[in-house]
């Protein structure tokens, strides 16, 4: 009798699982018609082989919010002026009017047009920038700018930790708020999950405002857990701004368990400060419903610099119709004639970017990829290693950074063009996270970046030997293969 009951229970459970999974699969296929079919197939496999866990994972991590728009910038009527400016610049590009002043930049016309269309990225002309390649120099410059603030400080980071540098930044924010400076802080609710209430309370009690991006609270967290704000932006008085890969944590200065932490960050003056200000204020509206974009004179003072340097600041995330940064990198790689240098801590690209990199190398372009030898994520790192063989088969030279952990995220092409920002070369940055990158059309900046890359591969890295890599133990390659299968879900 007990055996019969057990068999009937198993049959019912199997039928329920099959019907539920089939229904969810049908809905998934219907909703994901514009999505990577490999990714959709992976979720279907997960649903079938992990009966309960697979459904839970899909609810939390698998929904396509680029379609459903959890955060819709189109509701902000104050951005209509941006549409007008984009329309005007697109017309100037079509008529080649911009290249009357910058004839040497005409080869980037298609990329400029792409970024205006897919992410409303204005082309700014008068800019001055300074590059930093470690957290120590970055925070020295940020603290100097914060201490000089007179009107407002806007600060947004994926990670803010209650450690030495975190408290140094907090103490400056508290002091400035007490002086009457408007202090606004956005932190990601997952990236900064350990940030204590006391830290936030001190800022608020001083008169500042600090808010989480997309709070994750059971039972309402659902897909919000998977869509995080990975941007790192600081804007001071609308005159100086910072953006790049450095978060607020001691390990970005002292290296933590890695001993040394390499990273890339940028200080801006000029017109790009206004675009970073707009990005922050749109995110601030999302977390606070406070509209500050109308206060043009205060937040967009238009501090002039006489240095000419063309930059487009591109954003991407579930709030946009297009994967803007991924498309930017794809287009950049396809324009290369001589060489491409890529630094990224995580490398799990989609098929489009992977194919573009291999095609460029097979076409005779010198493609070099720098990855960390040690990673802070074993699963992602194993997935990264699974891509190396096919890249080297296509002629890509791969270097493993050994000095510590290389968290830099940039691409430099032909000594003429570079992209620096918060986005990794991975599916999470391309599809899920809110990211920002500066597309810089300047030979001086790009060559500076390339010199740093060359120094790192010569002094701090080792090149991966294709033959040795091919002789890895079978168990290791199996683990990498499993991680590769899970790459679309990471």
What's the CA gap between 238 and 149, in Å, rounded?
10
In the block, tokens 């009107």 appear at 151
Considering the candidates 154, 170, 200, 409, report the single residue annotated as catalytic: 409
Torsion of Cα atoms, 428 then 432 then 437 then 443, to 10°: 50
Residue 32 falls in the annotated catalytic set: no
Residue 257 falls in the annotated catalytic set: no
Considering the candidates 120, 224, 230, 358, report the single residue annotated as catalytic: 230
Residue 230 falls in the annotated catalytic set: yes
Considering the candidates 188, 189, 200, 237, report the single residue annotated as catalytic: 237
Residue 77 falls in the annotated catalytic set: no
User: Which of these, 338, 160, 345, 162, lies nearest to 264 by C-alpha position?
Assistant: 345
CB 177 within 8 A of CB 151: no
CB 147 within 8 A of CB 240: no
CB 367 within 8 A of CB 340: yes
Residue 407 falls in the annotated catalytic set: yes
CB 228 within 8 A of CB 103: no
Residue 143 falls in the annotated catalytic set: no
Cross-strand partners of 347: 425
User: Which of these, 427, 459, 429, 468, lies nearest to 42 by C-alpha position?
Assistant: 427
Q: Report residue 89: phi and psi, to 5°.
A: -70, -40
Burial zone of 309 (CB within 10 Å; 0-12 exposed, 13-18 middle, 19+ buried): buried
Considering the candidates 188, 189, 283, 414, report the single residue annotated as catalytic: 414
What is the sign of the dihedral through the CA atoms of 416, 419, 424 and 426?
negative
Peptide bond into 219 cis (omega under 30): yes
Considering the candidates 154, 224, 232, 432, report the single residue annotated as catalytic: 232
User: Which of these, 213, 204, 233, 208, lies nearest to 145 by C-alpha position?
Assistant: 233
What's the CA gap between 22 and 443, in Å, rounded?
54
Catalytic residues: 230, 232, 237, 407, 409, 414
């Amino acid at each position: 009798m007990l055996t019969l009951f057990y068999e009937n229970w198993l049959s019912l459970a199997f039928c329920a699982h099959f019907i539920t999974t089939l229904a969810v699969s049908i809905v998934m296929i219907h909703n994901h018609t514009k999505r990577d079919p490999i990714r959709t197939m992976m979720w279907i496999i997960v649903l079938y082989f992990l009966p309960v866990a697979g459904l839970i994972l899909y609810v939390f991590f698998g929904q396509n919010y680029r379609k459903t728009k959890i955060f819709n910038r189109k509701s902000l009527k104050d951005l209509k002026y941006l549409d007008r400016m984009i329309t005007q610049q697109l017309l100037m590009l079509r008529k080649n009017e911009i290249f009357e002043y910058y004839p040497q930049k005409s080869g980037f016309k298609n990329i400029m047009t792409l970024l205006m269309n897919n992410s409303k990225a204005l082309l700014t002309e008068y800019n001055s920038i300074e590059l930093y390649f470690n957290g120590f120099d970055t925070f020295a410059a940020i603290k100097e700018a914060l201490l000089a603030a007179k009107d407002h400080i806007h600060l947004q980071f994926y990670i803010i930790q209650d450690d030495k540098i975190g408290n140094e930044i907090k103490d400056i924010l508290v002091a400035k708020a007490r002086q009457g400076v408007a202090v606004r802080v956005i932190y990601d609710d997952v990236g900064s999950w350990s940030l204590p209430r006391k830290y936030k309370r001190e800022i608020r009690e001083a008169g500042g405002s600090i808010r989480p991006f997309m709070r994750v609270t059971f039972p309402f967290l659902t897909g919000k857990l998977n869509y995080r704000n990975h941007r790192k932006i600081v804007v001071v008085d609308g005159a100086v701004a910072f953006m790049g890969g450095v978060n607020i944590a001691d390990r970005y200065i002292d290296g933590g368990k890695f001993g040394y932490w390499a990273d890339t960050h940028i200080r801006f003056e000029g017109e790009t400060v206004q675009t970073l200000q707009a990005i922050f204020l749109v995110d601030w509206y999302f977390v606070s419903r406070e509209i500050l974009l109308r206060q043009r004179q205060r937040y967009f003072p238009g501090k002039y610099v006489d240095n000419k340097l063309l930059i487009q600041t591109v954003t991407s995330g579930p709030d946009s119709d297009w994967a803007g940064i991924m498309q930017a990198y794809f287009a950049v790689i396809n324009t290369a004639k001589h060489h491409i240098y890529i630094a990224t801590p995580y490398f799990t690209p989609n098929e489009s970017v992977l194919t573009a990199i291999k095609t460029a190398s097979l076409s005779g372009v010198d493609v070099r990829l720098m990855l960390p030898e040690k990673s802070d994520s074993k699963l992602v790192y194993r997935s990264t290693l699974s891509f190396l063989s096919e890249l080297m088969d296509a002629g890509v030279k791969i270097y493993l950074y050994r000095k510590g952990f290389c968290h830099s995220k940039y691409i430099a092409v032909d000594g003429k063009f570079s992209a620096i920002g918060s986005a990794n070369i991975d599916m999470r940055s391309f599809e899920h996270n809110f990211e920002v990158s500066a597309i810089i059309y300047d030979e001086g900046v790009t060559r500076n970046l390339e010199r740093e890359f060359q120094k790192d591969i010569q002094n701090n890295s080792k090149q991966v030997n294709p033959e040795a890599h091919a002789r890895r133990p079978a168990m290791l390659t199996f683990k990498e293969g499993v991680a590769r299968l899970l790459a679309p879900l990471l």
